[in-house]
Amino acid sequence: MTDAKSSSLVDYERDGEIVTLTLNRPEKLNAFSDELVGALSDALHRFDMDDEAQIAILNGRGRAFSSGADVQQRQLRSREEFLRLGGPQGRGTHSSDLLTKAVNWKPVIAAAHGYVLGLSVGIVLECDLVVAEEGTKFQVTETSRGLGAGKYWALMHYRGGGAFTMEAALTGRFFTAEEAFKANLINRVAGKGKYLDVARELAREVIKNPPLSVRSTVRMRRWYMDRLSREVMFMTAPERLYLTEDFGEAARAFTEKRKPKAFKGR
């Protein structure tokens, strides 16, 4: 039995016990606005409460999984708004809460293709399992934007990324699905156009097992992941890098499609 319903920003489709969640903002390369984070949160809650669903696959429509945060909305806020919100995210739309506020702790597989940039790197790595199409390009854009890559270093380190973790975090360079697989950051590399098929194969392997056993494991992993995230936030939040001149210049340069001026370290 298939249960399908489309919303404006996230499509929800259930086929048997497998739910497919599709980011549906392709004209913006699925950039995460406050509204998209909120819509994904609602979709994940619906999945969590769906008695017929055992596992979800998260993917993006169009040319990319996601280009990361919507710079126009989330990184060009006024100083007053940054202070009021405590950062670039809107009230109640912090992406790190997406997978740590569950009730039933069902597993989520990220199925990535095209580009996985900035904020979306965090969302993908926070998923329980990760499949990426061959050639998919990842990038920690927070490095070049002046926001710091502490969270992403921590997530990659948590997944066992080793020395590669620090290189990716400090350089902010693109790295491929193949590099990510070699560094133990993802679980599968799929052929061109096959990332959803491979994710569904992996999902079917998971749901062969007793669901409560699976959820117990997911809950334990996410508890540690949430603790790690809170430790990173405790360390980095007082820096308030989103108020620095360098961050402002990097964000403006990105939206104006130019190279940033020389950074000042302030």
The pLDDT value given to residue 194? 98
The pLDDT value given to residue 1? 39
Predicted structure pTM score: 0.91
- Rounded mean pLDDT of 250-260? 88
pLDDT at 4 over 60: no
Q: Answer yes or no: are the C-beta atoms of 226 and 117 closer than 8 Å.
A: no
pLDDT confidence tier of residue 65, bands split at 50, 70 and 90: very high
pLDDT at 2 over 70: no
Percent of the residues in the chain that have a pLDDT greater than 70, as a whole number:
97
- Rounded mean pLDDT of 156-172? 94
- Rounded mean pLDDT of 69-95? 80
Alpha carbons 6 and 22: distance in angstroms, whole number? 9
Residue 114 is encoded by which pair of tokens?
A: 């095209």
pLDDT confidence tier of residue 7, bands split at 50, 70 and 90: low
